[in-house]
Amino acid sequence: MVARYAPREPIPPARVAAFRSFGSQMFHVEQIPRTEGVMSDQEDEDPTRAVEREDRTPGRRVGPGTPDLSIGALIEVRETGARAPRPLPRVIAVANQKGGVGKTTTTVNLGAALADLGYRVLIIDLDPQGNATTGLGIEARNFDYSMYDVLLHDIALEDCVEPTNIKNLFLAPATIDLAGAEIELVPAFSRELRLKRMLAPIREDFGFVLIDCPPSLGLITVNALSAASEVLVPIQCEYYALEGVGQLLRNVELVRGNLNPELEVSAIVLTMYDSRTRLADHVVAEVRKHFGDAVCKNVIPRTVRISESPSFGEPITVHSPTSRGAIAYRELAKEVSRGPA
Ligand code: ADP
Ligand code: MG
């Protein structure tokens, strides 16, 4: 049977990078300077958000203090300090158990930007809220199968994949049914490896597979981490930016030790950066200090256009192709796919 996303063009293999371990640095931020909320000339900023932040108490911890975890082996950087291409296909879980940090936004927009670069991209929506699905303009009434059917009822992933309005970009959609999967998977046979098994037959059809994880570290996220070779962690440039990241990294380590030895945290993406606040710069500096070259050079700005694009069912690259947000995601796609632009 010919898949609905056929035909495919061959994707050239990329070089394998040489990596060294990151060292066991910890994140620890005590004082956050109060923002002065200086307005800049940016055309599509949302002033209300900055005001909200200014009202918060300064001097709080951004991170979880000194988590009891060695992240040395989890975050790998190249010896040269620059990123290098990795072999395709790359299966990247976009994970952070905090909600609202930009996982879905990054999955959809990075996916669209990678597709624009010519890669065949599959986005797997693993969040029962289905925001990646609706954000790409795909409605539940228009598809037969969702990721719930794939994970629980052995429906072939190929039969679940839908084309999108963007060339080269495909989606395995999610609906609210997936909320039940977290519990229904508990007694299932090889419950952690379902996604990996279902992805295997079509993995090679794509250059990139991006998995949008739910805001939890339950079985669905474990399935994503087991199926992936890389984890991309979006971190919001906000108070408590690193809260929970230690726990996520511990889970990555557990999955790596028990289920998926090749898993590594390959990219940390700073999202919703607001240049009007000193807080944002401070968070960026702290995250870079502690995670080094694993942090992507391109930081995603907070813009109104990015936040409104899902309601049009379009990635930012389609909704507002010349906006700062679209440029940022396009640059991020270049950085993630083949090193610095
Ligand atoms: P998550 O998937 O981690 O829960 P989302 O990607 O859904 O987070 O983002 C949370 C909210 O923030 C959404 O309403 C989204 O539109 C908005 N948002 C995300 N990134 C940006 C950005 N760069 N600029 C403005 N709004 C953003
Ligand atoms: Mg989401």
Q: How sure is the predictor about 27, in pLDDT bands with cuts at 50, 70 and 90?
A: very low
Pure H helices in 120-244? 131-135, 147-153, 157-160, 178-184, 194-199, 219-227
Instruction: Report whether 63 contacts 243 (CB < 8 A).
Output: yes
Task: Determine the residue of 105, 243, 311 to mutate for testing ligand 1's pocket, defined as the one with the most ligand atoms within 8 A of the Cβ atom.
Answer: 105
Cβ(233) – ligand 1 distance below 6 Å? no
Q: How far is 296 from 209, CA to CA, in rounded Å?
A: 19
Q: How far is 212 from 64, CA to CA, in rounded Å?
A: 24
- CB under 8 Å to 17, separation ≥6 — which residues? 78, 83, 84, 85, 86
Mean pLDDT of the chain: 81
Structure tokens at 40: 């800049």
How many C-beta atoms lie closer than 10 Å to residue 250's C-beta? 17
Which tens digits make up the pLDDT trace of 97-141? 999 999 999 999 999 999 999 999 999 999 999 999 999 999 988
Give me the residue label for tokens 């010519």.
Answer: 118
Cβ(105) – ligand 1 distance below 6 Å? yes
DSSP-assigned beta bridge partners for residue 260:
none
What pLDDT, on the 0 to 100 scale, is given for residue 8?
55
Cβ(103) – ligand 1 distance below 6 Å? yes
Which tens digits make up the pLDDT trace of 45-103? 444 443 333 333 333 333 443 333 444 445 554 444 455 678 899 999 999 999 999 99
Give me the residue label for tokens 């108070």.
Answer: 239
Could you tell me what percent of the chain has a pLDDT over 90? 64
Cβ(302) – ligand 1 distance below 6 Å? yes
E strand or H helix at 36: none
Q: Which ligand does the CA of 108 lie closest to?
A: 1
Between the CA of 86 and the centroid of ligand 1 the distance, in Å, is: 28
Between the CA of 54 and the centroid of ligand 2 the distance, in Å, is: 25
Give me the residue label for tokens 């060339």.
Answer: 167
Q: Which ligand does the CA of 128 lie closest to?
A: 2
| Ligand 1 atom at shortest distance from the alpha carbon of 300 | 23
Which residue, by CA, sits nearest to atom 15 of ligand 1?
A: 307
Give me the residue label for tokens 């040269």.
Answer: 80
Cβ(320) – ligand 1 distance below 6 Å? no
Cβ(109) – ligand 1 distance below 6 Å? no
pLDDT, average across residues 12-38: 33
Between the CA of 212 and the centroid of ligand 2 the distance, in Å, is: 7
Structure tokens at 45: 């900023």
Which of the residue ranges 9-13, 58-62, 154-158 would you say has the lowest mean pLDDT?
58-62
Instruction: Report whether 205 contacts 120 (CB < 8 A).
Output: yes
Between the CA of 77 and the centroid of ligand 1 the distance, in Å, is: 27
Write the single-letter amino acid at 298: N
Which residue, by CA, sits nearest to atom 16 of ligand 1?
A: 307
Cβ(271) – ligand 1 distance below 6 Å? yes
Q: How far is 248 from 189, CA to CA, in rounded Å?
A: 25
Cα angle value 14/4/203 (rounded, 5°): 30
Which tens digits make up the pLDDT trace of 181-196? 999 998 888 899 999 9
